[in-house]
């Protein structure tokens, strides 16, 4: 009996920093489950997955089928964009990103 050889899966582990993190200078922090991210932001888990593919939010995942983890400080920013308990829409987040980028270009911090 020979030991099974480990063959890494192409593209894994994967990790990318999202636009929300970049415009806010977030480059670290704790990684949380999709369920925890949903509880913080009010966003549906499918929405979180979609936004990660658009690179709006950060994600890390060790392999296919392993849990996706989201950057906690970034989820806190999204929670701050809630209005009347309603989660932000993609359009609202993109407007926020544009405003933050404009502020950065003008040299403002917030």
Q: What is the pTM of this model?
A: 0.85
Asked if residue 110 belongs to a domain, the reply is no
Other C-beta atoms lying within 10 Å of the C-beta of residue 1? 3
Residue 8, in any domain of the structure:
no
pLDDT at 24: 96
Task: Yes or no: say if 50 and 97 are a contact pair by the CB < 8 Å rule.
Answer: no
Which pLDDT does position 9 carry in this prediction? 85
pLDDT at 93: 98
Quote the domain boundaries for residue 55.
14-105
E strands within the chain? 14-16, 31-33, 59-61, 69-71
Q: What is the pLDDT along the chain (110 residues), one digit of tens a residue?
A: 556 777 778 889 999 999 999 999 999 999 999 999 999 999 999 999 999 999 999 999 999 999 999 999 999 999 999 999 999 999 999 999 999 999 878 876 55
The enclosing domain of 70 has a CATH number of 1.10.1660.10
Q: What pLDDT is recorded for position 3?
A: 67
* Dist CA 33 CA 91 (whole Å): 24
The β-bridge relationship of strands 59-61 and 31-33 is unpaired
Count the domains in the chain: 1
């Amino acid at each position: 009996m020979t030991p099974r050889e480990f063959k890494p899966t192409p593209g894994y582990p994967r990790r990318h920093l999202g636009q929300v993190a970049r415009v806010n200078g977030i480059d670290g922090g704790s990684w949380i489950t999709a369920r925890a991210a949903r509880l913080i932001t009010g966003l549906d888990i499918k929405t979180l997955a979609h936004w990660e593919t658009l690179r709006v939010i950060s994600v890390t995942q060790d392999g296919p089928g392993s849990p996706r983890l989201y950057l906690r400080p970034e989820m806190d920013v999204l929670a701050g964009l809630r209005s009347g308990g309603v989660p932000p829409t993609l359009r609202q987040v993109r407007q926020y990103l544009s405003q933050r980028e404009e502020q950065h270009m003008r040299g403002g911090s917030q």
